[in-house]
Amino acid sequence: MLEQQLVNGLSLGCVYALFALGFTLVFGVLGVVNLSHGAVFMVGAYAAERATAGLGWGIGGAILFALVFSGVIGVLIDVLVLRRLRARQAPHLIPMVATIGVAIVLNSAAQGIFGAENRRLPEEVISHTVYTFGNVQVTALELGIMLASALLMVALLMALRGTQIGRGLRAVAESPRAAYLVGIDVEKMFYLTSFIAAGLGGVAGVLIALYSNAVFPLMGQSMLHKGIAVIILGGMGDIRGAMLGGLFLGFAEVLAVAYIGSTSRDAVAFGLLFLVLLMRPTGLFGRGFERKV
């Protein structure tokens, strides 16, 4: 059983990491805890569901569609809501409250448009092969998710370090004022970040919709709670931390279920969160992220 549980932990961890990547990116660059990330995650899932079940597209097209659709919603949230609050220099808790409102609007809209009932993506869009390695069962999708999260993380890190835009983003993350003074178009960077983060969230939504066979309006909410735990564990704003935090939480939950008892699962997530906040708020894997304004 242990080998299978380890694989379970790995795939669950990658699921969490996928969600957390976009979530932590927004905090890193914009300095905002974007509690509407769960909603854009859900939007991506519905976008893919409509593309596949409604328009008959393949999974590749559906994922791309989800990425763009969620990304656009992310930019809209930034332009319509967050930008005004930036201009006002609102204390950072205010944007967080505003994103809560945005999430409620999006979730209710989804419920109004699609109904509260569960849906799923059509069976045919991905392969359902189950690979057996000794005692261990792994589906093609899980392998795909593990690969996707690793690739995304590496791509993000490389982009942030290697490209000009990436360096611009890091400069803004460090200090928007300083970046502005150096001539970086800070607002554009914010829009870009919002697009990428929300797009990532949307893609995560599609993959998790496939993984769990469930698309429903509140699917982002429980993910959001876990996402918060992940970015605290991993260090807020830290890309590598999102991956490591996600994996850590995934393993912790699975092993708690396997060896302590399934009721301890959620307690583990939030208990860890608490402990980390009390002892090392910058995260287990974070590198002491200090934002200078």
Partner 1 sequence: MESFETFWAIHGSLVLTAGINSLLAISIWLTLACGMLAMANAAFMGIGAYASAILTTTYGLPYPVGLAAGVLVPAAVAFAMGKPTLRLSGVYLAMATLAFGEVVRITAINAEGLTGGALGLNGIPPYTQWWHVVLALVATLIGLHLLRRSKTGRAFEAIKEDEVAASQMGIDIAGHKLAAFVLGGALAGLAGSLSAHMTFFIGPNEFGFDRGVEILTMAILGGVEGLLGPVIGAVLLTLLPELLRGLNEYRLIVNGFILVLVVLFLPGGIWRPRAMKSLFGGRAAA
Partner 2 sequence: MNQTRLSVCIGASLLALSASSAHSADIAVGVAQALSGGAAQYGAAIRNGVQLAADEINAAGGINGDKIRLVVEDEQGKKEEAINVYKKLIFQDKVLMVLGPTLSNSAAAVNPIAQGSKMVNFGTSHTADGITAVGEYIFRNAMMEADVLPETIRVAVRKASIKKVAVLYGHDDVFTKSGYDNFKKALEDQKIPVVTTETFAKGDVDFKAQLTKIKSLNPDAIVLSALIAEGAPILVQARQLGINVPFIGGNGMNSTKVFELAKGASENLFIGSPWSSSNATPVNTKFIKAYTERFKVAPDQFAAQSYDAMYIAAQAFKEVKFTGNIATDRSALAAKLPSVKWEGATGPFEFRRFKDKGYDAQQTPIVSVTKGRAFVIEK
Tell me which residues touch partner 1 (CB under 8 A).
33, 81, 84-85, 88, 90-94, 96-98, 100-109, 111-112, 221, 225, 228-229, 232, 236, 263, 266-267, 270-271, 273-274, 277-278, 281
Among 87, 134, 263, 290, binds partner 2 (CB under 8 A): 263
- Kindly give, in sequence order, each residue whose CB lies less than 8 Å from that of residue 106, ignoring residues fewer than 6 positions away: 36, 39, 40, 42, 43, 73
For residues 139 and 125, give the distance between their C-alpha atoms in angstroms, rounded to a whole number. Answer: 14
Part of the chain binding partner 2 (CB under 8 A), chosen from 155-163, 197-205, 207-215, 280-288: 207-215
Residue 160, token pair as written in the block = 């942030």
Q: Decide: helix, strand or coil at residue 137.
A: strand
- Distance from C-alpha of 210 to C-alpha of 112, rounded to nearest angstrom: 23
For every residue of 13-77, DSSP letters joined together read: HHHHHHHHHHHHHHHHHH----TTHHHHHHHHHHHHHIIIIIT---HHHHHHHHHHHHHHHHHHH
Minimum Å distance from CB 160 to partner 2?
29
Q: Which does 94 bind (CB under 5 to 8 A by kind): partner 2, partner 1, none?
A: partner 1
**CB nearer partner 1, residue 44 or residue 283:** 283
**What Cα–Cα distance (Å) separates residue 161 from each residue in 22, 103, 128, 140?**
17, 32, 37, 32
Q: Which of 260, 253, 272 is nearest to 9 (CA)?
A: 253
End-to-end CA distance of the chain: 50
- Is the Cβ of residue 27 or residue 65 nearer to partner 1 in the bound state? 27
Question: Residue 278 binds which one of partner 2, partner 1, none, with CB within 5 to 8 A depending on kind?
Answer: partner 1
52-111 positions binding partner 2, by CB under 8 A: none
| 3-state percent breakdown (helix, strand, coil) of the chain, nearest 5 | 75, 5, 20
Under 8 Å between Cβ of 249 and 272:
yes
- Minimum Å gap between C-beta 42 and partner 2 is 12
Q: Which does 105 bind (CB under 5 to 8 A by kind): partner 1, partner 2, none?
A: partner 1
Among 89, 123, 134, 292, binds partner 2 (CB under 8 A): 123
Q: Is 213 in the site for partner 2 (CB under 8 A)?
A: yes
Tell me whether residue 50 or residue 86 sits nearer to partner 1 (CB atom): 86
5 makes contact, choosing from partner 2, partner 1, none, with CB < 5 to 8 Å by partner type, with partner 2
- Residues in contact with partner 2 by CB under 8 A are 1, 4-5, 8-9, 11-12, 15, 115-120, 123, 128, 130, 132, 137, 139, 208, 211-214, 216, 218-219, 221-223, 253-254, 257-258, 262-263, 265-266
